[in-house]
Amino acid sequence: MNLSKGLYSLVFLFLAGWSSAQSPASFSLEEAIDYAIDKSLDLQTAEQDILYAKQQIRDTRAIGLPQLSGKVEYNYNANLPVQYLPDFISPIVVGTLEGYQLVPQGTTANLPDAGLFPAEFGVTNTLTAGATLSQLIFDGSYFVGLKAARSVAELSRKQKTLTAHEIPYTIKKAYLAVLLAEENLGILDKNLENLQKMRDETQAFFESGLVEQLDVDRLDLSLANLQSERGMIERQTQLAYNVLKFQMNYPLEESIILKDELESLMQAPSQDDLEGEASASKRPELEVLRLNRDLMDLNMKRYKAGYLPNLSGFLAHQYQLQRNNLFDNDEGKFNPITVIGLQLNVPIFDGFKKDANIKMAKIDATKVDIQIKQFTLATELEIRNARAMYLNASERLENQKKNLALAERILETTRLKYREGVGSSTEISTAEQELYRTQANYMNAIYDLVIAKTDLDKALGNPLK
């Protein structure tokens, strides 16, 4: 009995877990942004750029650290080099064919000229093993390059921050597009319900002989058009969902549910955001441009440091074995060779190469200065336009809200007149179309206002999180 209860419990837990696994994930706007940042491929690429920049620092720093290398070299001299030398031995030997009588010491007169004779130098086998230690002592461009590598790493981090700053705005717009589509679907369903109810009432009036078949047909046509429009909005909604999931890097084949409602995201900007100074000081793009400008200065310093001498020291120690028979230990032994030295390189003339490099670096710096100025002016214009767009969208929403209330009142009055027999189905159709158009305008006005607020935050550099 206990075993059966345990099996039932396991089955229940399995089914509950399976059901939970199949339910769609739900996201608020903030959760969607967090998910997008966590899964962003752009941020993953930016992180790899940061790791790469760290290795660049190590690569540059290694130039100034001691360098140690080992070397083993074996040479087999198949033909020893031959050098021809004057024959200074044969002339002092007399009568070599008649008994090898040596010339008495000090006797050099009338000696024959023996010419040259070949002499071989070296041994057949040479084995050398050693190590060389070198150290950079001074190089002006090295220190500038190390500082530049650190700046590049900082630039990579700023680029990642900039990428992360852009993601919330993209996600918010995609999120709002889904909410607008969902809201439109809800309005259409409500309109379909009301229109179906009106059509059923008209059918009842027709069967009672109070209205014509034409009135029923007109409502049937309106229903068909509204149902067709709903199908189109439903497909647009699915498309909006797909765009949002793509921006979030969420699997397209899986479903999601949005927690927030459209009107809950309608946060009014502060007074300072609407009337404060139009400045680019909070824009992360400006930080990236300024860091680029600092890199241009370091580039100029690097080329100027190329005019300075550079000094390095070295220590080389090796052992050399020379033998005709490599494995004959009686022929010779390893002999040490040690060399200690300094090397000073003094640049004298390079054909004006460094001068050209310095001037090109100055031009690059000037171009960045121009980019900073252009970005500052463009941001000021962007802020002013965003403020104007928000105020226009806010005013338009207020007008559309009034228009919607008026359109609903007109339709209700028209339907009431029709029920009392003093109105026509044509008036109802006209009032319905006007309501649908006003509803669409109202929803678009809400969307435009929220998008305008998002664009204003982006122009000001306000983080959404």
In a domain, 299, yes or no: yes
Give the total number of structural domains in the chain: 1
Task: Give how far the C-alpha of residue 32 lies from the chain's centroid of Cα atoms, to the nearest Å.
Answer: 20
pLDDT recorded at residue 261: 87
Q: Where are the alpha helices (DSSP H) in 109-212?
A: 140-207
User: Is 257 inside a domain boundary?
Assistant: yes
Alpha-carbon distance of 15 to 10, in angstroms, equals: 9
pLDDT in tens, 286-334: 999 999 999 999 999 999 998 999 999 999 999 998 888 878 777 778 8
Q: Which two tokens stand for residue 158?
A: 């700023």
pLDDT at 208: 81
Pair 390, 449: CB distance under 8 Å: yes
Look up the pTM and report it: 0.76
pLDDT exceeds cutoff 50 at 50: yes
171 in a structural domain: yes
Of 298, 294, 303, nearest in space to 369 by CA: 294
94 is written with which tokens?
């007399």
**Encoded tokens for 460:** 């000001």
The torsion angles phi and psi of 129, rounded to 5 degrees, stand at: -135, 130
pLDDT of residue 11: 46
Say which DSSP state 453 is in.
H
Percentage of residues in the chain having pLDDT higher than 70: 89
The answer to the question of residue 435 being in a domain is: yes
Of 202, 210, 181, the closest CA to residue 432 belongs to: 202
Task: Using the predicted structure, report yes or no on whether residue 94 has a pLDDT greater than 60.
Answer: no
pLDDT band at residue 92 using 50, 70 and 90 as cut-offs: low
Supply the CATH number for residue 180's domain.
Answer: 1.20.1600.10
What is the average pLDDT score of the chain? 86
- Contact residues for 50 (Cβ-Cβ < 8 A; gap 6+): 153, 156, 157, 160
Higher-pLDDT residue of 446 and 81 is: 446
- Give a yes or no: residue 465 inside a domain: no
Establish if 324 belongs to a structural domain: no
User: What are the pLDDT digits (tens) for 201-255?
Assistant: 888 888 887 778 888 888 888 889 889 988 998 999 999 999 999 999 999 999 9
pLDDT over threshold 80, residue 405: yes
In a domain, 383, yes or no: yes
**Cα dist from 307 to 22, 144, 310, 311, 361, whole Å:** 69, 13, 9, 13, 16
Q: What is the pLDDT of residue 93?
A: 58
Q: Is 162 domain-assigned?
A: yes
The tokens for 175 are 């999120």
**C-alpha pair distances (Å), 428 with each of 351, 413, 439:** 89, 9, 16
Res 91: pLDDT: 60
Residue 401 has pLDDT above 70, yes or no: yes
Task: Kindly state the tokens that stand for 111.
Answer: 């000696």
CA dist 431 and 408 (Å) reads 9
Range of the domain at 151: 25-69+139-308+352-458
**Residue 121 reports pLDDT greater than 70:** yes
CB atoms within 10 A of CB 342: 9
pLDDT tens digit sequence for 358-379: 999 999 999 999 999 999 999 9
The predicted pLDDT at position 99 comes to 46
SS3 131: strand
Predicted local confidence at residue 417, as pLDDT: 86
End-to-end CA distance of the chain: 56
Give the pLDDT mean for 271-279: 89
DSSP string, 370-420: HHHHHHHHHHHHHHHHHHHHHHHHHHHHHHHHHHHHHHHHHHHHHHHHHHT
CB atoms inside a 10 Å sphere around CB 174: 20
Query: CA-CA distances (angstroms) from residue 285 to 153, 159, 233, 458, 459?
Result: 16, 8, 38, 11, 11
**What pLDDT score does 115 carry?**
67
